[in-house]
Amino acid sequence: MSNEKHLAVAGATGAVGIEMLKCLEERNFPIGELTLLASSRSAGRKLSFRGSEVEVQELTPDSFRGVDLALFSAGSGISREFAPHAVEAGAVVVDNSSAFRMDDEVPLVVPEINPEDVALQHGVIANPNCTTIITLMGLQPLHAEFGVEQVIASSYQAVSGSGAQGIVELEGQIKAIAGDGEVEKKIYPHQIAHNVIPQVDAFLENGYTKEEMKMQNEGRKILHAPDFTASVTCVRVPVYRSHSVAVTASFRKPVDVERAREVIDAAPGVRVMDDPAAGLYPTPLDATDGDDCLVGRIRKDLVFENGLSFWVVGDQVRKGAALNAVQIAELL
């Protein structure tokens, strides 16, 4: 019996959808038939996959007949509308949006951290938030060794996290400034070129943004740690790709810096780059187009008795979205 699957990608023409196709091709995922789906505006467009041109079809409720696996990368509204149709047709959905992440019936999975949760699926598996994934890739090995209790973190999030239009806005503003032209703001509430903006997503009543609360809420679910708490500030920075996060974590057990380096470097999907004396620590350019998350600046924290501080960087389009979804599909 063939292991090849009929796989569909919903939102195939978007940045994450295109990256999903790249990951599927690079990792030689066993695909017998590939269906590419997008809005009516993109229907008819052709995308390259394994040396062939595949025509994009319009996403409709009937698009999933005969599909085994459906990767969704088209936003929460699309997922809520069309994922039930895919499940009803017999497909398992791996959803990259926020639509189902906190649903008790839907597992939230980072394959290197909680692969066993895939077995709990009832047709839908959720991909976590990109900043949550990148942070937990560095944090989980430490949690396994020392037992994490609290986290204080600040993210430095690339404009591609806002989609292609975030990149267009940054590029346009840089050109406008260089040419003494007028800076246009459409995607962000303030100029992003030569600036940082301490707001990612909408503010909540507690003063945090939706993005900032995801690390605590999703982290509890992924780590199976209901008492885990996180105070986070998410910042948009004028970087094209790859998110960075400065993390300070307190643990139940006494911590050791050398042991921390060892357990992080031994974990799958994460790599230590940590020799400050030689100027070695990860930057967004180091992580871009790579599968691994990179960790550096590992040091004993000066506030928490059992605390460590570190810096973690990851490509949020790949490991923060497309690659993680493909890895979930591989588990299935």
Instruction: Name the residues annotated as catalytic.
Output: 130, 243
User: CB of 163 within 8 A of CB of 96?
Assistant: no
CB contact set of 316 (below 8 Å; sequence gap of 6+):
130, 131, 134, 157, 158, 160, 161, 241, 242, 243
d(CA 321, CA 148): 24
| Chain centroid offset of residue 33 CA | 26
CA angle 162, 118, 266 (to 5 degrees): 80
Contacts of 218 (CB under 8 A, 6+ apart): 101, 102, 108, 128, 129, 132
User: By the 8 A CB rule, do 10 and 59 touch?
Assistant: yes
With beta carbons less than 8 A apart as the criterion, state whether 135 and 247 touch: yes
Phi, psi of 113 (to 5 degrees): -110, -50
What is residue 325's three-state secondary structure?
helix
Residue 131 DSSP symbol: H
DSSP-assigned letters across all residues of 199-230: --S-B-TTS-BHHHHHHHHHHHHHHT-TT-EE
Helices (H), 89-163: 130-146
Three-state SS string over 41-71 comes to CCCCCEEEECCEEEEEEECCCCCCCCCCEEE
